[in-house]
């Protein structure tokens, strides 16, 4: 079972991807993890990616696709995998389709976790993080026992720059420009399935498993 997770930043697709991976025993593959692993292991592809990242540049589509293709050739992917954070653009999607065709494979599902922008801004701007131990909270859904203080280690909780409303809005604008067209691309491929991401986490997960089964 080969799955692509789609959805705006903050839609909860990463959390769902991890849970699906556990349930079906397939690897959850995020481009961030692939970049880090290749850079740490000093692979040829990792060295190339690092050159771009060190300059603050985006890793080119072709190289990103090579890294992903390299990863899905591993033995643990023989029963399938979940891609999270890739593809992000139409050229990446086309490159992935071609790479899989060469391997005699194709994607089975593209699952779009659909959440309106207003709900995402509300959701993300309520996040609070402990920079000391890494714990995360939400002022409405997962509040700490004492306001502004981490339950685990007692350190002060902060709002990350990434979660400030104006930053979230910028990220959503980029998403709609670049990644939203993927929804049409995978609809045309006949593999797009949409779930309502505003529902409770478990309800969203149930909706996804019903699609996959």
User: Residue 183's pLDDT band (boundaries 50, 70, 90)?
Assistant: very high
Q: Which one is catalytic: 50, 171, 187, 199?
A: 171
Could you confirm whether 88 is annotated as catalytic? yes
Q: Model's pTM, two decimal places? A: 0.82
Could you confirm whether 164 is annotated as catalytic? no
pLDDT value at residue 82? 96
pLDDT value at residue 179? 84
Three-state DSSP state, 30: strand
Q: Which residues contact 14 (CB under 8 A, 6 or more apart)?
A: 5, 30, 84, 85
Q: Which one is catalytic: 71, 88, 123, 128?
A: 88
The answer to whether the CB of 35 falls within 8 A of the CB of 139 is: no
Q: Which one is catalytic: 2, 71, 123, 127?
A: 127
For the chain, which domains are there?
Answer: 2-116+167-212 (3.40.50.300)
Could you confirm whether 71 is annotated as catalytic? no
Could you confirm whether 128 is annotated as catalytic? no
pLDDT tens figures, 28-56: 998 878 888 888 999 998 899 888 888 87
| Token pair in block for residue 157 | 């909780």
pLDDT over threshold 90, residue 6:
yes
Could you confirm whether 123 is annotated as catalytic? no
pLDDT tens figures, 61-98: 888 899 999 999 999 999 999 999 899 899 999 999 99
Q: Which one is catalytic: 23, 73, 160, 170?
A: 160
Residues 87, 76: Cα–Cα separation, whole Å = 20
């Amino acid at each position: 079972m080969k799955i692509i997770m789609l959805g705006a930043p903050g839609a909860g697709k990463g959390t769902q991807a991890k849970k699906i991976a556990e349930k079906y025993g397939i690897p959850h593959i995020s481009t961030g993890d692939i970049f880090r692993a290749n850079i740490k292991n000093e692979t040829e592809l990792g060295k190339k990616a690092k050159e771009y990242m060190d300059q603050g540049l985006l890793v080119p589509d072709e190289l990103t696709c090579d890294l992903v293709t390299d990863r899905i050739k591993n033995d643990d992917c023989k029963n399938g995998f979940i891609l999270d954070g890739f593809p992000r653009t139409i050229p990446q999607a086309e490159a992935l389709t071609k790479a899989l065709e060469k391997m005699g494979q194709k994607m089975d599902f593209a699952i779009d976790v659909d959440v309106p922008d207003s709900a995402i801004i509300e959701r993300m701007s309520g996040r609070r993080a402990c920079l000391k131990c890494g714990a995360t909270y939400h002022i409405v859904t997962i509040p700490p026992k004492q306001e502004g203080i981490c339950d685990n280690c007692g350190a002060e909780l902060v709002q990350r720059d990434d979660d400030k409303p104006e930053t979230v809005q910028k990220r959503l604008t980029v998403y709609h420009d670049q990644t939203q067209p993927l929804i049409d691309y995978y609809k045309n491929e006949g593999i797009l399935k949409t779930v309502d991401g505003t529902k409770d986490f478990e309800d969203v997960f149930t909706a996804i498993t019903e699609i996959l089964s």
